Amino acid sequence: MTHALFEPITLRGLEVRNRIWVSPMCQYSVERQDGVPTPWHLVHLGSFARGGAGAVLAEATAVVPEGRITPHDLGIWNDEQRDAFRPIVDFIHSQGAAAGIQLAHAGRKASTHRTWAEQHGSVPADEGGWTTVAPSAIAFDGYAEPAALDTDGIHEVVRAFAAAARRAVDAGFDLLEVHAAHGYLLHQFLSPLSNTRTDAYGGSLENRARALVEVVDAVRAEVGADVPIVVRFSATDWVDGGWTLEDTEQVTRWVAEHGADMVDVSTGGNVPQATIPVGPGYQVPFAAAIRAATGVPTAAVGMIDEPHQAEQVLVTGQADVVMIGRALLRDPNFALRAAAALRVELPYAPRQYHRAPIV
């Protein structure tokens, strides 16, 4: 018996063994504050590959130092970071999974404390923080006011994404995700709530999408025709006057025309006062709507916690891939457990664990 979850999927030159992909999940675990991955990242990401996931995506990884959400974030703006990723990628590949990385710039939501820290909000400069940047000098509530990027600064960000993409491919990553969601820099450009510019990067939807389209162009030019590019969107700000599903549909068409192969559909994150109706699969309808409106492959994410639920998302045509987050933190063997629940025999269950079959 076959099931949609365990059908391979091909994007450009990459075939991924199944449709259960690991959503990028920030770990805030770089203790030297130098952006270099650690043994924690090897074990964290490697466990998902060993557990049968199709693709394992590393968390939001900053393309420049000031693009980190916290001082403890991963980076890929230098060669030391690139080289430290290689053994992690090699292990993921050794388990038969594809390796992806989310390239990111946090913009006005950078330079903050870790989520579990006693302090909240922006990290002061004398404690290792820095001045953040954004499309406009509008602070995220409770955070320090950012500096508005000038045109040269925007071009530097675009070049940084391209350079990071090159390092990622040189480290062995198979696919790249451009982070334009959750209120981070590229989402800040997209939303009229955070972008009040009056130049070529503000105002109309086309102008507000310009920075993202330029990033996709630059990344595609840097990595060539074979490497898949995914763009993560927040499909709505969940606030009147903000970024909308219809906006996302249109910009999805544009990024696809410029070389993106799939969109990873989340929601929210740009304004803290949004009321979000959280529940099982609550973001899946957005992925379904974008897929139906544009024909672009989508990944669905958001409290997809059970194998039959994940299978239903795919067989009903709501998405092409499911991104699993919290369920994999609870059980890195989610893919193997899903196979058992759906009665699929997998050839890649770890032989070392044969005395403890998942049934």
Active site residues: 184
Residues 6 or more apart in contact with residue 66 via CB below 8 angstroms: 110, 111, 130, 131, 132, 133
Q: What are phi and psi of 127, to 5 degrees?
A: -115, 15
Could you give the CA distance from residue 55 to residue 52 in angstroms, rounded to a whole number? 9
Residues 6 or more apart in contact with residue 181 via CB below 8 angstroms: 187, 232, 233, 234, 264, 266, 269
Strand extents, DSSP E, the chain: 9-11, 14-16, 20-22, 55-62, 98-104, 133-134, 147-148, 175-180, 229-234, 262-266, 298-301, 321-324
Give one DSSP letter per residue of 117-129, joined into a string.
SSS-SBPPGGGT-
Are 236 and 269 spatial neighbours (Cβ–Cβ below 8 Å)?
no
Residues 6 or more apart in contact with residue 348 via CB below 8 angstroms: 17, 52, 95, 96
Q: What is the largest CA-CA distance in the chain?
A: 64
What is the rounded end-to-end Cα distance, in angstroms, of the chain?
Answer: 16
Q: Which residues of 167-197 are buried (b: 16+ CB within 10 A; e: fewer)?
A: bbbebbbbbbbbbbbbbbbbbbbbbbbbbeb
